[in-house]
Homo-oligomer: A and B are copies of this chain.
Amino acid sequence: MSDDQRFGLDRRVTLPGPLRLDGGVLLSPVEIAYETYGELAADGGNAILICHALTGDQHVASNHPVTGKPGWWTRMVGPGKPIDPARHFVICANVLGSCMGSSGPATVNPATGAPWGMGFPVITIRDMVRAQAMLLDHLGVARLKAVVGGSMGGMQALSWPATFPDRVEAAVVIASTARHSAQNIAFHEVGRQAVMADPRWNGGAYYDGEPPASGLAVARMAAHITYLSEAGLTEKFGRRLQAREAKSFGFDADFQVESYLRHQGLSFVDRFDANAYLYITRAMDYFDLAEEHGGVLANAFRETRARFCLVSFDTDWLYPTRDSRAIVHALNAAGAPVSFVELSSPYGHDAFLLDAPELNRVVEGFLGAGQA
């Protein structure tokens, strides 16, 4: 095994498809950008699929090619971590509809030779999962020891055993939900309207010129607030002023929290495509796992024998603990084995991405239990 394989190798594959999408469109070809870490065991029993969140990517444990920053979940994935390439064959793919190499609005529509833009078909969480399954076929991974994800990644981790009941042995669903609430949809709609209000968006046809960076930055700012707890914001910033002694009585960023938010918005637009933001938020808003199964969430899990691990954070108001509890109740009704814990954290929804030793212990214990 070379170091490249051990510590991440940025790959991209073009699969012929077609992939039949929930919206009815046949997508072909299907491009998937992904990374793998470690090696598939001879018995194929050590594959773990990591699913990323809305603005995440396949660089789960290796440096981001644009920002140069470490992978987004090196706290969970890496040597000595709960998910360890020395033991696991780790796969992480850029979701369908995103902008880090997988098919999405920014990739080329072969029928026109130009970027898809808003001509790209609207996709769902289940479509993302189906594309991941195509990738696993390509990689020769028949079944998953586990599928693991937080936030939108948790939606995929839930959708996996519901869509491919025989291919998943365990699912770890962190800070997530089985359906987007009216408030979730509302915040996403604000973001989409912010993007679309930017004249540079131009109906999604901006790839020849300047992207709608102003609108996308506003969208990111609004969303970012929902990722943090009120108490966490107060602890981190309170009403502290920027590096000046008094209020400016102007409209510069007087408060540190203003400056922080502006930075979040501006840095985001350098690494993300505005149309991809529209498509992925739409997929999340469409997500309602019960609806896909006759309106009864438990029905989603009746055919799988997967074990489940649910984790919520007490200060997460985006996908609060009651959302996880609803999933647990459905799993109980379906007779599926499930462990559930609400962890305490001051950091709100984003806690799953931050230093959370308890989360690591939970995931390590759950994955290890499957080996007994």
Looking at the complex, which one of B190, B234, B317 makes contact with A261 (CB distance below 8 Å)? Answer: B190
A181 neighbours in B (Cβ, 8 Å) = 230, 233-234, 239
A243 at the interface (CB under 8 A from B): no
A342 neighbours in B (Cβ, 8 Å) = none
Which of chain B's residues has its CB closest to A25's CB?
Answer: B249
Residues A121 and B249 in contact, CB atoms below 8 Å apart: yes
- Within residues 236 to 263 of chain A, which ones have a CB less than 8 A from any CB in chain B? 236-239, 247, 249-251, 253-255, 257-258, 261-262
Q: Which residues of A contact B (CB under 8 A)?
A: 22-24, 118, 121-122, 179-183, 185-187, 189-190, 192-194, 196-199, 214-215, 217-218, 221-222, 225, 228, 230, 233-234, 236-239, 247, 249-251, 253-255, 257-258, 261-262, 265, 278, 282, 285-286, 288, 291, 317
Residues A194 and B182 in contact, CB atoms below 8 Å apart: no
Residues A193 and B215 in contact, CB atoms below 8 Å apart: no
A228 neighbours in B (Cβ, 8 Å) = 183
Which of chain B's residues has its CB closest to A213's CB?
Answer: B197
Looking at the complex, which one of B118, B121, B257 makes contact with A182 (CB distance below 8 Å)? Answer: B257
24 A–B pairs (Cβ distance < 8 Å), ordered by A: A24-B249, A121-B249, A180-B239, A183-B230, A183-B234, A185-B258, A186-B258, A187-B225, A189-B221, A189-B253, A189-B255, A189-B258, A189-B262, A190-B218, A190-B222, A190-B225, A190-B261, A193-B221, A196-B251, A197-B215, A218-B218, A239-B288, A239-B291, A254-B285
